[in-house]
Amino acid sequence: MIKVFPDLDITTAHLSGMKYMDAISGCTFVDISYILTVLVKLHDVEQTNRILRVFGSYRLIFFTVYPEGNLETYCDILDQMDFTIEEMEQIAYKNIIKILKI
């Protein structure tokens, strides 16, 4: 689909699971809501931060209908990373506003 519709914004849920390297070049946006806690359990906060940085904050969204834990857990994890306030705002709501065009 990416080759057929190169201008299409594609959002991948859960950072494409453990195949996040495949999502780097194939998606416009990636949802990190469910996978964030899983990545931290598998790796650690520092390595998860490096993985997210490969995508860039302008491509990350936090949108979930199925949180793995409570929102405080997600916020605690993100607070341990080196995202700026502006980058956190992108992840938390600015990127989804861009997608929804609201």
In the chain, where are the structural domains located?
A: 11-100
* Residues 39, 42, 46, 51, CA torsion sign: negative
Average pLDDT of adjacent 10-residue blocks, the chain of 102 residues: 73 67 74 87 94 92 69 88 95 90 81
Count CB atoms within 10 A of the CB of residue 74: 21
- What pLDDT, on the 0 to 100 scale, is given for residue 7? 77
The predicted structure's pLDDT at residue 1 = 67
Q: Are 81 and 36 in contact (CB under 8 A)?
A: no
Write phi, then psi, for 93 (nearest 5 degrees). -155, -30
Burial of 35 (0-12, 13-18, 19+ CB in 10 A): buried
The predicted structure's pLDDT at residue 80: 95
**Per-residue model confidence (pLDDT) at position 91:** 92
The confidence score (pLDDT) of residue 2 equals 67
pLDDT at 95: 92
Q: Let me know: does 23 contact 15? Beta carbons within 8 Å.
A: yes
What SS3 string covers 60-76? EECCCCCCCCCHHHHHH
